[in-house]
Amino acid sequence: MAVFTAFFVGGGNYLTVVLLPLLLILLLFLFAPSRRNTLYLLIPLAVFGITAVINMKAPGTQVRGGSGFGFDIHNVVRTIGRSVDKGLTDVRLMYVNNPVIVLCTIIIALFLASQMIEKQYDFSFRCPLLFVIMTSGSYLAMYAPTYYAGVGAPFGRMSNLISFYFELSLILNIVYVTGYVTKKWNDKWKERCWKAAEKWKIYKIYILLAVTVLILLHPEWYRTTAMARTVNYLASGQAKEFGEAMDRRYEILLNEDLKEVELDPVPSAGPLFNYDIVEDSNEWPNTAVAEFFNKDSVRLKGGE
């Protein structure tokens, strides 16, 4: 499965092209010293390397990047600096503006940590600082592809993927550090933590209810979440308006007698991902729609 994953990721989006080898190297670092069969991960790493090189050398990539696009050490340094700055800025904004994320992350971490305290692990959880640095570095590395290509900061679905990965890496870091601490604790501290874990089992339901009530009492905290925006989009009738507008578009696009098509703008797509066409028929969203529906040109109707 790792080989198949490496094959498809290496030939796919550059966002995950950077992340996958870092994760494979991390697994090799953590497990290879104690489990020699972990060295088999070198096989998917090699497959990934081959498919990634083919991906980067493909003619279409050269066309998209432009004739001047290539390896530039100055661009590498600039990319690293901009990725670190943007990544840290997004983390600050994510937690300052989204208390719901903070509370949910803490609750998940508490559930996992409470389960770990009472158990013994053969895994040593060694080098926690290095683990945190590597997971944080892989998060920041996900910003690099778009900056290096000159596109700027990641946007849309790329931003969502990066945010999800950061949340996952944060929880993993908490779990890893908890595992390291439990291995190092003496008997006195272990006893105290076991008592705390027992109390957590009794009161966790009340903590969950308190957090839920706290979030519901502050609508400004959750109104920007995907769930709240989706419910509002459906309840307000905007989703119906958007669907009807898209139906009218498809009726025109499926008309085989029309070869040069002008389409009306659609209402707000709300939380939906909608990379819409523009007024210039030569832009790639327009040419893609024209090719898909077998049209000579497709454009958005202008204003005045």
Q: In which band, very low, low, confident or very high, does the pLDDT at 126 lie, cut at 50, 70 and 90?
A: confident
* Rounded CA separation 285/279 (Å): 11
pLDDT at 255 (0 to 100): 92
Helix axes 73-97, 128-141, angle to 10 degrees: 100
Which DSSP category does 296 fall into? S
Q: Which two tokens stand for residue 210?
A: 């308190």
Q: Are 86 and 93 in contact (CB under 8 A)?
A: no
Furthest CA-CA distance within the chain: 82
pLDDT at 56 (0 to 100): 78
Name the helix (H) or strand (E) containing 49: helix 42-57
Q: In which band, very low, low, confident or very high, does the pLDDT at 304 lie, cut at 50, 70 and 90?
A: very low
119 exposed, middle or buried (CB, 10 Å; 0-12, 13-18, 19+)? exposed
Return mean pLDDT, the chain. 83
Residue bearing tokens 């901009």: 82
Q: Apex CA 144: angle with CA 175 and CA 224, to 5°?
A: 65
* 155-208 pLDDT per residue, tens: 777 888 888 888 888 888 888 887 887 777 766 666 777 777 777 778 888 888
